[in-house]
Amino acid sequence: MKNKLIALAVTLLLGGSQVWAQAQQPATTAAPVASVKIGYTNMEYILQNMPEFKDIQNQLTIQRTQLEKNYGDMTKEFQDKLGAYEKGQAQMSDVIKADKEKELQGLQQRIQEFQANSSTQLQTKYNQLVNPVMQKIQTNIDAVAKESGFTFVFNLDAGSGTIPVLLYAPEENDVTNLVFKKMGVAIPSKQPAAQTTQQPTNTNAAKPAPKKN
């Protein structure tokens, strides 16, 4: 038993010696690791400071104002006809009353459909106006990244309303001003720009039409 323990100890010592010898040998030359340079910017901030942005806002405001006017006209028509119905229903025959109620219900449905379509129209208009500008920004971000040797460029406002993609980064890796320079746009002050309103202004739902007796 004693001889077995001695043999095991010798084996361990020899093994340890081999590991130590290997550690003392010069390491083989490893393949060079490519350096990674990460930059970041805020695409929404760049968009809001583009010369085209003011015109985008104006066009959206014009369309939103027209939609709100149309909604107001339809709502007024509904309220006027509802008032006339409520005032004169006691003298109406069942046939006329049913016809008026059907008309009111049709107007109410039109108003609801108009509200839903208005939001879609404004969003579609926004995309039509903004997408070419965003493509222009992306093209210049690509150029800046290649010229300045950035391997990756993150967008700070990606997934707006949730945790941002990039939680920390040194200020010198912010490529925003380089992108402005590349596009020939004056570098804005660090004041937050106004947000774009993409959806139509909320309006009050029309008063429900009376149920048929």
Residues 6+ apart with CB under 8 A from 130: 47, 56, 196
Looking at residue 164, the DSSP 8-state letter turns out to be: -
Helices (H), the chain: 2-24, 43-48, 51-88, 94-148, 176-183
199 neighbors 123 (Cβ within 8 angstroms)? yes
Interatomic CA distance for residues 102 and 212, integer angstroms: 8
Sign of CA dihedral 153, 157, 159, 165: positive
Interatomic CA distance for residues 122 and 64, integer angstroms: 7
Per-residue pLDDT of the chain (213 residues; tens, 9 = 90+): 444 433 433 343 344 444 444 445 555 555 555 688 999 999 999 999 999 999 999 999 999 999 999 999 999 999 999 999 999 988 989 999 999 999 999 999 999 999 999 999 999 999 999 999 999 999 999 999 999 999 999 988 765 555 566 767 788 889 999 999 999 999 988 644 434 434 334 444 444 443 444
Strand, helix or coil at 161?
coil
Q: How far is CA 71 from CA 8, 110, 117, 147, 200, in A?
A: 92, 10, 11, 51, 11
User: At 36, which amino acid appears?
Assistant: V
Q: Name the residue with tokens 């970041």.
A: 40
Interatomic CA distance for residues 211 and 100, integer angstroms: 11
Angle (CA) 172-176-180 rounded to 5° is 130
Whole-model pTM: value is 0.65
Q: Name the residue with tokens 């839903």.
A: 116
